């Protein structure tokens, strides 16, 4: 009976590669042992066109989050539990919120 011992060496390296349709081509030389088996994880990168800017991305997200109508106006209330500052007509309810200590 043949007994083989494998030593697992933890090695992580992030490398950007180009897939040409047949093989993965690294953008820089790799320090790997030839004819050694490696396990790789593949994540695709989405290229953002020059026409698409940050504001365009944000515009696509408008209306995609469920939130109260006054979410932006009363963010301190929803994030930190402070009393609401405005009534339905956008009038300040109380200036007591801004007490000096």
Asked if residue 38 belongs to a domain, the reply is no
Q: How many domains does the chain have?
A: 1
* pLDDT given at position 49: 66
> How many whole angstroms separate alpha carbon 45 and alpha carbon 28?
17
> How many whole angstroms separate alpha carbon 20 and alpha carbon 43?
16
Asked if residue 35 belongs to a domain, the reply is no
Q: Look up the domain containing 89 and give its range.
A: 54-98
Asked if residue 83 belongs to a domain, the reply is yes
pTM: 0.35
Residue with tokens 């093989």: 23
> How many whole angstroms separate alpha carbon 59 and alpha carbon 53?
10
SS (H, E, C) 20-67: CCCCEEECCCCCCCCCCCCCCCCCCCCCCCCCCCHHHHHHHHCCCCCC
Asked if residue 11 belongs to a domain, the reply is no
Asked if residue 31 belongs to a domain, the reply is no
pLDDT in tens, 61-88: 887 878 888 888 888 988 899 988 887 6
């Amino acid at each position: 009976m043949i007994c083989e011992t494998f030593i697992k060496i933890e090695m992580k390296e992030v490398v950007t590669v180009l897939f040409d349709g047949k093989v993965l081509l690294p953008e820089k030389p790799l320090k790997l042992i030839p004819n050694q088996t490696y396990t790789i994880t593949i994540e695709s990168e989405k290229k953002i066109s020059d026409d698409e800017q940050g504001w365009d991305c944000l515009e696509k997200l408008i209306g995609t989050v469920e939130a109260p109508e006054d979410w932006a106006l009363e963010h301190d209330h929803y994030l930190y539990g402070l009393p609401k500052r405005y009534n339905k007509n956008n009038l300040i309810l109380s200036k007591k919120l801004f007490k000096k200590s």
